[in-house]
Amino acid sequence: MIDLNKKIEIGSLTLDFPFFLAPMAGVTDYAYRVIAKEFGAGIVYSEFVSAHGIIRKNEKTLKMIEFSNFERPIGIQIFGDTPEVMEKAARLVYDQFKPDLIDINYGCPVPKVTKKGAGSAALKDLCLMEDITAAVVESVKEVPVTVKMRAGWNSENIVSTDAGVKLEKIGIKAITLHPRTTVQMYRGKADWSLIKELKENVKIPVIGNGDIQTIEDIEKMFSLTKCDGIMIGRAALGNPWFFTQIKKYMKNEDFNEISLNERLDVCNKHLDLLVQTHGEVVGTNNMRKHFGWYFKGFKHASGLRKKLVLVKNYSEMKDILSNIRH
């Protein structure tokens, strides 16, 4: 049974529900963060944001950082390839937006990021990782700085425990570990034993991430790794109710299956928030992938998803959602 009194302290920040919505590119924008918060996520994160874009004050980049007070506590996740750029970016993020924490991305395995030496490429050069981390910690002493990282570049170079010990000494306040390598991308199995090993070697909170799909997975991760919190990524796609389900389970309350009408209500809200934030064209385009996730596994879901993906504009999307309501 998940501990009802389980709290997590990240620097000056105390969370009484240690379940995090993972930062996901193209997913955890303002619209989805608001919805995840409504369903109980303990903390949410921005999509990962380029430090270079931040210091150039790129309008699109800065818009990705904007958030409302309702989303607090919120972390802004940044990535970059040099201490100087990351230091300036972190300072600007804090001065302009005042998030509750700043998270450094050492986990993104996507080649367009790693080729520039950012994301999980830092796992190949722990000296650079230390320099970048120290620069960010020094730059923003007002808020906790945390890290999300992978296990290593490949199976021959697993560095998560070594890196974690170094990061703690520098002043990082919590580490989220996704125990796959960069080379694995999202294939194969996450090696939870590495989360356990990291937890045994540092005193700061360790947040487990990877292969969480069910309540049973959460129980297993806590039991096997003794981690302090859990970050939920793909299991939350089209399923913000997962956070409510966890809360109900912790209180030994029943969780009823989500009805089609409940899904339609959230889809309508999500679509409206996206259009309000991004405008009709970008908002409706962004919503298409979410429809696929929201209606996955439902009877006649493939036909419905196809209709919603092919539809031309916002009003037609709203019509389809209205016509399938029971």
Q: Which residues are catalytic?
A: 108
Closest by Cα among 235, 251, 184 to 5: 251
> How many other C-beta atoms can be found within 10 angstroms of the C-beta atom of residue 67?
21
Residue position matching structure tokens 């309000």: 276
The answer to whether the beta carbons of residues 229 and 20 sit under 8 Å apart is yes
Asked if 85 and 136 count as a contact pair (C-beta separation under 8 A), the reply is: no
In angstroms, the CA 281 to CA 279 distance is 6
Nearest residue to 42 (alpha-carbon basis) of 206, 231, 266:
231
| CB contact at 8 A, 247 and 254 | no
Which residues, in sequence order, are CB contacts of 31 under 8 Å at separation 6+?
A: 270, 273, 274, 277
185: left (phi over 0), alpha (psi -120 to 50) or beta: left
Task: Render 206-265 in DSSP notation, one character per residue.
Answer: EEEESS--SHHHHHHHHHHH--SEEEE-GGGTT-THHHHHHHHHHTT---PPPPHHHHHH
Q: Report the alpha-carbon distance of residue 209 to residue 191 in Å, rounded.
A: 10
Residue 204 DSSP label: S
